[in-house]
Structure 1
Amino acid sequence: MVALSRKEYLLKIIQGRSLDGKNILAIAGQESSEVELWDIENSRKIMCLPQRCSANMTGRLTKKKGLCMAVQAFIPCESGGYVNILSSYEDGSTLWWDVRKPGSPLSSVKYHLESALSIAIDGLCTGGISGGADNKVAMFALDHQQGTFSLRNEIEIEQPGIAGIAIRPDNKIAATAGWDHRIRVYNYNKGNALAVLKYHSATCAVVTFSHDCKLLASCSADTTVALWELYPPKTPSKVLMATEEVER
């Protein structure tokens, strides 16, 4: 079984927009335990998490967590337009950051016994899913009032290693990409397994859903990309309608 390199994991990036209108890119930093935020338009690094300073104890604490393996940026309604970040680490932990408080995370959890390799946030920013080098998939909720995580569901899979995760834009379906060449599909709200898709012949690296929720794409180290049509939505979701309204 072949695992992805750290470089392949760190190419998972997501674009956000802060209150002042800047296009923000969040990536794992040059320092192994840091997260960097970049202003895309000006090609300028604007922040590190944790923020560097001579007396920063948090920086030393994140270094103890090992390499930053996955980063997810999101903008919850409660943040007033400011970017929040989830960052997952080699020791299996995940930190929740608010860019207005870069010195220390809002909260920290450890859902995995081995490296946390992938993470995804749902379209409403109310929760998400994480996967790791162990045999667990963790579905969690985010309490924006308290700034805390809570575990909704923990799913054990037969073979270890979840390299990629995606949640469909309507928040109904989720999918994982596994080291065992399998794509697993779940009911995101209930947490139950819906299907195991067997096509790839090597490690699956990434999964993603189309904007209209009709297609799932998966890619693998076998050099193929597969398109799947499964559980198409019958009616547009509130998330999709809100997104389309903003785009107009």
Structure 2
Amino acid sequence: MSLPAPHPIYTLRGAGGALNTLHFRCHGEDPHLLFSGSGKGSIHIWNLNSRRAEKVVEAHSGSSVTWVSTLQSTDTLISQGRDMQVCLWDLNEGRSELLESVWTGSVGFCQCSLLETSPTNYLLAFAAQQTEEIKIIELPSKNPVCTLTPKAKVGMVMCIKLWKTNSGLGPLLLAGYEDGSLLLWDVTQRAKLSQVRAHPEPVMCLTFDPRRLRGISGSSEKKLSSWTLDSQNNIQLQDDVTLVNPGVSQLCIREDGRILASAGWDDRVRIFSWKTLRPLAVLQYHTDMVLSVAFSDHQDPRQRLLAAGSKDQRISLWSIYNDGAGKG
């Protein structure tokens, strides 16, 4: 017999807009928090113990919030909006004060990428005013690091991912572009290392596993494209995953490297084994397209959660494959 379809353990309502982005902070002491950014310009800080919004930050002058994250070392929230601003907020002692803002000039939907380089310093990558450009700055100083501009015509930058290698090289950045290309950049050398055409349509989302040097990307088509990096930092296309329905908003790999979640335009979240890409489950709850997925960073694996945010203005929380069933 097949297993019954899973159900969310609970849901969060009241965001007041489409849920474009989600971010957990559960690695420290209570309270465990989930941050959400909405299409109405508000950031909700949800207390996962009380299952209520602890605070609402009205950000970006009512423009859609496209990305949220936090600095691990301080009580600082980072948000990105369609008002072409990246904002840093002080949440210490219950505050929600604007500390700094960075003007990006970008009118697209490309989400920022954040990389911790030391306990007190970070790199922030974002799409720039010129649609094919990516700018990288240091935080909290806001000092510019570099601008990455492809020589070939690949169109608008759609999605980016900063990561650090174990080989001693400086930070690298993966980027997906409008023409379906993936480019790998060396941030220190400001140089393109490799390029492939992974999709016939724009790359809508990508995620990467630095431990396995393996990534996966999605677009508006009925396919996920997986790929690896070889010893020369060349992107090598691997297996494709055929989907039932077209369109993927976001992809997320759980920290233990066992399962992959996809946010579908067909209102569903799909779970795959990250090792084999075998389909494991279809999560059906939402009544409109799923825009965001995120795994929690609980230190206890048994507490790990998956959150999904939808255009239907609801967040669903799921506890799945926490007993090793997703080793795949």
Q: Which range, TM-score by smaller chain?
A: 0.7 to 0.9
- CA deviations over 1:42-72 (Å, ceiling 9, x no partner): 123321113xxxxxxx43x1xx211101011
Q: 2:282 aligns with which of 179, 186, 196?
A: 196
Q: Does the Cα contact within 8 Å between 2:164 and 2:210 map onto a contact in 1?
A: no
Query: What is the RMSD of the two structures over their aligned residues, measured on CA atoms?
Result: 2.6
Letter of the 1:228 partner, please give it: W
2:308 paired residue number: 218
Inter-partner Cα distance in structure 2 for 1:168 and 1:89: 24
Distance (Å, rounded) in 2 between the aligned partners of 1:49 and 1:20: 25
Of structures 1 and 2, the larger Rg is shown by 2
Paired letter, 1:48:
T
Alignment partner of 1:114: what SS?
coil
Q: Could you tell me which residue of structure 2 aligns to residue 70 of structure 1?
A: 159
Q: Counterparts of 1:13 and 1:125 in 2: how far apart (Å)?
A: 23
Cα contact 1:75–1:125 (8 A) shared by 2: no
- Superposition map of 1:157-168 within 5 A: 157-168=243-254
Indicate the residue corresponding to 1:243 in structure 2: none
* Structure-2 change in CA distance of 1:83 and 1:226 (3 Å): same
d(CA) in 2 for partners of 1:117, 1:42: 30
Separation (CA, whole Å) in 2 of partners of 1:149 and 1:19: 28
Q: 2:180 aligns with which of 77, 92, 97?
A: 92
Deviating runs (4+, > 3 A) in structure 1? Answer: 4-11, 17-22
Does residue 116 in structure 1 map to residue 212 in structure 2? no
Contact 1:123–1:171 (Cα < 8 Å) also in 2: no
> What does the per-residue CA deviation read over 1:171-219, in whole Å, with 9 as the maximum and x for residues that have no partner?
1100010111111100000111111111111111111111135211110
Change (3 A) 1:100 1:186: same
Normalising by structure 1, we get a TM-score of 0.81
Are the equivalent residues in 1 in contact too, given 2:163–2:210 (CA < 8 A)? Answer: no
Paired residues for 1:1-40 under 5 Å: 8=66, 10=109, 12-18=111-117, 22-40=121-139
* CA–CA separation in structure 1 for the residues paired with 2:237 and 2:172: 19
Structure 1 residue matching 2:167: 3-state secondary structure: helix
Q: Distance in 1 between matches of 2:236 and 2:112?
A: 24
Structure 1: tracts of 5 or more residues without a match: 51-57, 238-248
State the distance in 2 between where 1:36 and 1:172 align.
32
Return the offset for 1:132.
0.7
Inter-partner Cα distance in structure 1 for 2:117 and 2:167: 13
Q: Does 1:232 align with 2:322?
A: yes
Q: Which residue of 2 aligns with 1:139?
A: 226
* Partner Cα distance (1:132, 1:43) in 2: 32
Which has the larger share of strand?
2
Cα pair distance change 1:127/1:154, threshold 3 Å: same
Identity %: 29
Map of 1:151 onto structure 2:
237
Please give the per-residue CA displacement for 1:66-87, whole angstroms capped at 9, x wherever unaligned. 110101111010144x211000
Distance 1:233-1:146 versus aligned 2 partners, 3 A rule: farther
Conservation of the 8 A alpha-carbon contact between 2:224 and 2:242: yes
Tell me whether 1:207 sits opposite 2:296 in the alignment. no
Q: Secondary structure at the match of 1:30?
A: coil
TM-score norm. by structure 2 comes to 0.62
Cα separation, 2, equivalents of 1:7 and 1:29: 17
Q: Which amino acid aligns with 1:172?
A: R
